[in-house]
Chain A
């Protein structure tokens, strides 16, 4: 608490100022410590994997097939597979997700119905990923007869990713000031012209950020592709969306738990590649967001 002396001047440290100062210092130290405690595990995981995995990384590790029961060689097909699965997920979930967000933010009247849709979306985001995997198995692999394939895996990952994309995109659309819409309509724009020429360009960085964060989650997940897309070992790359594929998270799971005598170096090397893939996407998303904030005209 600040206090005033008789002339009305502010007294910075009234009374027993030393004791107060000491207590404040103690408080700040505690908060700094707590913050460090949250950062240390994340940092140590990254550093540990970096140290253990870096020796495995080489050009041939990234570009060759594994051999000798995956105990030797590279992880090329797993990298390619994760790339295809992420791409497939993007193809399905991005248009549907952004479309749904535009509908919810720009067209749907506020009603009980849209309230239910929103609650459903939020709850979808909370479903464990293995449940999505089982759903994908029943729906895409068996019922729609896609088999264990990139297509089935991408669709399963899409359903898991959609809630993230819809809710972040809707938030980005809603952040565009309502006054822009009113002004645009008042100079003779239709609702769609307003969305296309004002609302979407202004919210695009936010939408892209949400899309990348959603896809990043898809790229790192194991459970949804476990029954729908992933294969333990394939001697060649998939050549159609209906082929199964190897994938980084699944490959990591397999070589960590299912292969006796697996070299530790390769395990950590694979983990490192996966982390770089995911953190790289995260970094891109963060960069887009901070750049857009700096250039925003409202």
Chain B
């Protein structure tokens, strides 16, 4: 089943920096889709289209079609707030909000109008369990989130998007600042999460891409060079450029 359908997508920023050219891609539901390639290839830009975070950037031109189920994401009239609750995002650097661990999680829920303490407590525990952080923080939920280690902060960020029960989770190099053990924890967590969520990941290395991808797309300078089932694409790439990148000949 296709969760996000992208057809003839073009994107240009005003400063002409990064852009996307004629992207056609189907992101399958309940799988981990990996968008990989060298820096400046447009992966992050594509992620930021899925929850319209690129509204914050200076976009010169955007055309084509991006459908989340039946919702036209690019439609200027859609409710971006509810879109962002359906499509959660985890950033490269863990950014915890300057408040307690618990408040980091309840923030989005309270904005959505949830006030019942019991519901909030339930949601906090559920999301922390899902993000494999509950055991480490259950006794210190009211401490400042900044007191957590880098790896814990990133799992808190993951929990913060899970708490809203999104349909899709976008992860933009979520482990780039983490040690191998923390990275392993996040990757294991992602494998469990795909039962419930559709996951789109920009990995921080080719190795990570190969480890976690069910489905993968290779991006180079704004173009989608190749897409396919994860295992096949990494073992037997069809395009010479994909092969060169996977083999580490450039990038």
Contacts and interface: CB of A to CB of B under 8 A. Distances in A.
Contact of A297 (B56, B84, B93, B146): B146
A298 B107 CA distance: 18
Contacts of B98: 180, 198, 202, 296-298
Interface string A249-278: 000000000000000000000000000000
A184 B53 contact: no
A108 interface: no
Interface in A139-190: 177, 179-180, 182-190
A193 interface: yes
A209 to B, nearest CB: 18
A188 B164 CA distance: 9
B118 interface: no
Contact of A186 (B84, B112, B145): B84
Given A182-B53, A182-B56, A188 B97 contact: no
B108 A188 contact: yes
Nearest to B160: A187
B51 interface: yes
B95 A183 contact: yes
Interface residues of A, number: 19
Given A188-B85, A297-B144, A183 B111 contact: no
Given A185-B53, A188-B111, A298-B146, A180 B97 contact: yes
B84 A188 contact: yes
Given A186-B51, A187-B108, A179 B95 contact: yes
Interface string B80-95: 0110110011010101
A187 B161 contact: yes
A186 B111 CA distance: 12
B97 A183 contact: yes
Give the contact-size bracket for chain B: 20 to 34
Contact of A198 (B93, B97, B164): B97
A189 B111 contact: yes
B91 A183 contact: yes
Listed residue (A186, A193, A198) with the most chain B CB atoms within 10 angstroms of its CB: A186
A23 interface: no
A236 B219 CA distance: 80
A261 to B, nearest CB: 61
A204 to B, nearest CB: 12
Listed residue (A184, A193, A198, A297) with the most chain B CB atoms within 10 angstroms of its CB: A297
Given A180-B98, A297-B98, A298-B98, A187 B111 contact: yes
**Which DSSP category, helix, strand, loop or mixed, fits chain A's interface?**
helix
Nearest to B87: A186
Contacts of A198: 97-98
A293 interface: no
B82 A188 contact: yes
B153 to A, nearest CB: 12
Nearest to B112: A188
Listed residue (A182, A188, A197, A298) with the most chain B CB atoms within 10 angstroms of its CB: A188
Contacts of A184: 97, 107
A250 B157 CA distance: 57
A186 B108 CA distance: 9
Contacts of A297: 98-99, 144-146
Contacts of B95: 177, 179-180, 182-183
Nearest to B144: A297
A298 B84 CA distance: 25
Nearest to A183: B95
A197 B88 CA distance: 20
A11 to B, nearest CB: 39
Nearest to B100: A297
A185 B95 CA distance: 13
Listed residue (B97, B108, B144) with the most chain A CB atoms within 10 angstroms of its CB: B97
A63 to B, nearest CB: 45
Interface string B94-131: 01011100000001100110000000000000000000
A185 B93 contact: no
A183 B98 CA distance: 11
A232 B97 CA distance: 54
B107 A186 contact: no
Contacts of A177: 95
A187 B146 contact: no
A127 to B, nearest CB: 35
A121 B91 CA distance: 37
A193 B53 contact: no
Contacts of A183: 91, 95, 97, 157, 160
A186 B146 contact: no
A185 B164 CA distance: 13
15 contacts: A177-B95, A179-B95, A180-B97, A182-B53, A182-B56, A183-B95, A186-B51, A187-B107, A187-B161, A188-B84, A189-B111, A190-B81, A197-B107, A297-B144, A297-B145
Given A182-B95, A186-B84, A297-B144, 9 more contacts: A180-B97, A180-B98, A185-B84, A187-B108, A187-B111, A187-B161, A188-B84, A189-B81, A189-B108
